[in-house]
Structure 1
Amino acid sequence: MRRTMLGTISALAIAAGTLVAAAPAQAAPALRFHSTQYDSPGKDTRSNTSLNAEWIALVNTGSTAVNLSGWKIIDKSKTYTIGNVTIAGKGGKVYLHTGKGTNSKTHLYWGSGNYVWNNTGDTATLRTKAGKTHDTCKWGNKSGRTRIAC
């Protein structure tokens, strides 16, 4: 009887270890690109006002806020690493403007003196802190359109 009891306890311990190992991974945040204004309205003067009228936005459709620290928004020629910013849940948005400015909870600034997004077509990539591609937003020449939903 003693051996049977020890065997049962061992089997339970092994089963418990298996259950812990098989626990599902944490779900990825419900975070994605929302929209972009890839062609600043008016003439491309490279003034800070014009540069900041070019932007890309993220939206969090999940119910939980997400800290974006270390996440990256990537263009083929430039990378922006997000600092300690938390995007609210349930539709919270964060805009990344191309030019210079003071970062806030909902508006970030790349600090570039040149336009980032190509008017004729481009791809924005959102990568996690671990470097995994989380979302992309791609556009082509939209025949006069300067802003699209991703």
Structure 2
Amino acid sequence: MRRTLGTISAFAIALGGSLVAAAPAQAAPSLRFSYAQYDSPGSDTRSNKSLNAEWISLVNTGTTAVSLKGWQIVDKSRTYTFGNVTIAGKGGKVTLHTGKGTNTKTHLYWGSGNYVWNNTGDTATLRTKAGKTHDTCTWKRKSGRTGIAC
């Protein structure tokens, strides 16, 4: 056996490589969109109250908390980049409201003076800090609906 490993090692080194055990791949966080409230109830007045009644939420279905720092929620024309935010494990949720407000651990505010999500249909994209698409939520307007489970 020693002779075989020595031969394999010599062969690997001769090819310019080395024998290194590969590190296990890190599993992607168990994050996904949970719900999109894309049509603020009542008239679209663009008041801060109305803007904040439009929101989208993320849920962490994994067992460990996940840092969202640098992750993004992207619409066709706007991008929200998470700051120093952590979403708890085991069903932890974070809700991103369209308007202005004071961020908490579970409620964040885009700070927009305009609605983000189209009532007639839209797609929200969750991107990792490396810019890779992690999840999407797409909807089309259904009669009488103002939101959708993703």
Same fold (TM over 0.5): yes
The residue aligned with 2:33 is: 33
Q: CA RMSD in A?
A: 2.0
What are the residue-to-residue correspondences of 1:1-150 with 2, within 5 Å? 8=5, 11=8, 18=19, 20-21=21-22, 23-150=23-150
Instruction: State the secondary structure of the residue aligned to 1:49.
Output: helix
Distance (Å, rounded) in 2 between the aligned partners of 1:110 and 1:18: 49
Give the drift of 1:68: 0.1
Paired amino acid for 1:32: R
Instruction: State the secondary structure of the residue aligned to 1:20.
Output: coil
Report the count of equivalent residues.
144
Distance (Å, rounded) in 2 between the aligned partners of 1:146 and 1:125: 19
Give the drift of 1:121: 0.2
Distance (Å, rounded) in 2 between the aligned partners of 1:118 and 1:128: 23
Q: Which runs of 5+ in 2 are unaligned?
A: 13-17
* Structure number having the greater helix percentage: 1
Give the drift of 1:6: 7.5
Give the percent of matched residue pairs that are identical in Structure 1 and Structure 2. 76
Q: Which runs of 5+ in 1 are unaligned?
A: none
Paired amino acid for 2:50: S
Cα distance change, pair 18–137 in 1 and its aligned pair in 2 (3 A): farther
Distance (Å, rounded) in 2 between the aligned partners of 1:149 and 1:26: 28
Distance (Å, rounded) in 1 between the aligned partners of 2:46 and 2:96: 17
Give the drift of 1:24: 3.0
Instruction: State the secondary structure of the residue aligned to 2:131.
Output: coil
Distance (Å, rounded) in 1 between the aligned partners of 2:134 and 2:118: 21
With the length of structure 1 as denominator, give the TM-score of the two structures: 0.89
Paired amino acid for 2:56: I
Cα distance change, pair 66–9 in 1 and its aligned pair in 2 (3 A): same
